[in-house]
Structure 1
């Protein structure tokens, strides 16, 4: 029988890429509050250390801020090495770092396409590949890939983003199949419109913002903290039978 202690992350270590802003920062705080040691990454070393210290002061948990380009495998391997050296283990990997470039297909240049695909799809592949050997040795791991509702439905001017997020859902399923025997689960979380830095360009455009609200049955943008319950569940012992899933949290958008 499960109890609330199954949701406790004390003694576990979580690594959140892009964990210094938006949803990633909210996830990092939630894991620390649930008892985990937390490592957050950014391309900016000062920013990574600043937010790691902020989380430590807020929660009392051990934290680590790492500067890394998650599209560079050598740097990704170094990131995993820093985490395991600091904490002795790596239990939870959240592939959260992402980017979006909005353009019609006929105006979409190769450089923008490659940037989105490399950041949103290749980087989670590299991070999971680097983290999995440590998880296999531990006989425990939780990989949570942050996809999007746009991995399941489409919008105009999001060709690269939709493709990358759809691909990430499929990659998650392959991870789940390959690593299940090692007590490693892999799941994808697919947020809808949440009020984050990434969506400010839409929220600040009255016409675009209203168009989004018109497609949301709940008639509002999501709050980042509304994802944290699911994120703690997927990182915990309570979710041990859940793997290969893509969970959509979108205010009802994809129900229409």
Structure 2
């Protein structure tokens, strides 16, 4: 059983590793024996992550919103430990603009970072995965991949796109030994969801909408993440797993 979930020696690139669920994922995999490159914009936060994370780690400071740099970012990510085996696209942004107030700039930055960057970064890393005959792409979807929330039209559009993109990635690359799946977290306390948890009434209302009766803790993502990153999910591809305490079941 342990072999099914073993990621020892795998090289992992985690975007958004400086905070939130990206940091949780990077720390988990490093602790499980993977060689982890944390990628984010904030060098100080990445340094703090490495300082507090045992295992083989490296950091890469980069701006994923600069689409022209993604090929270079993919190349640089392979420098510390070699070709990337597992790509986790956890970086994201939520501008929280109502439909009437969405701007061109807000729309573009959201769709670019949440949808375009994960695809083009994966596209740049796939050739090495094909050569090795093994790879894992893990995208981060959202409750808003399926549900419409106030102030979330651009974010929801991007995350709905992530779900479809994941299916399309699976169709394109799974015959080469590369699976593509998405995790869709419910309400977890992170920097991105800070405004939600700043309102105790709203946070409790969200908890009450789950089947379990509480909001998510970062460790709740650990098991599902290990599943989609390992051989345990070898025959699972193109799927979106909602880790939401049953929010979408009600």
Residue pair 1:53, 1:63 contacting (<8 A) in 2 also? no
Unaligned runs of 5+ residues in structure 2 are: none
Quote the Cα distance in structure 2 between the aligned partners of 1:196 and 1:213: 15
Identify the residue that residue 43 of structure 2 maps to in structure 1: 45
Identify the residue that residue 29 of structure 1 maps to in structure 2: 27
Identify the residue that residue 89 of structure 2 maps to in structure 1: 95
Unaligned runs of 5+ residues in structure 1 are: none
Quote the Cα distance in structure 2 between the aligned partners of 1:241 and 1:112: 38
State the 1:233 CA deviation.
1.2
Q: Which residue, out of 220, 223, 231, partners 2:225?
A: 231
Q: Which residue, out of 132, 135, 145, partners 1:141?
A: 135
Identify the residue that residue 117 of structure 1 maps to in structure 2: 111
- For normalisation by structure 2, the TM-score amounts to 0.95
State the 1:216 CA deviation.
2.5
Quote the Cα distance in structure 1 between the aligned partners of 2:178 and 2:50: 26
Superposed CA offset, 1:191-232 (max 9, x none): 111111111111112343233233223232100110011111
Residue pair 1:49, 1:66 contacting (<8 A) in 2 also? no
- Aligned residue pairs total 250
Identify the residue that residue 122 of structure 2 maps to in structure 1: 128
Residue pair 2:19, 2:45 contacting (<8 A) in 1 also? no
Q: Which residue, out of 208, 212, 220, partners 2:214?
A: 220
Residue pair 1:49, 1:65 contacting (<8 A) in 2 also? yes
Question: Structure 1 155/111 Cα, relative in aligned 2: closer, same or farther at 3 Å?
Answer: same
Identify the residue that residue 175 of structure 2 maps to in structure 1: 181
Superposed CA offset, 1:60-103 (max 9, x none): x2211101111223432222222322212210000000011212
- For normalisation by structure 1, the TM-score amounts to 0.93
CA RMSD in angstroms, aligned pairs only: 1.4
Worse overlay, 242-251 or 79-88: 79-88
Quote the Cα distance in structure 1 between the aligned partners of 2:204 and 2:231: 40
Helix, strand or coil at the partner of 1:247: strand
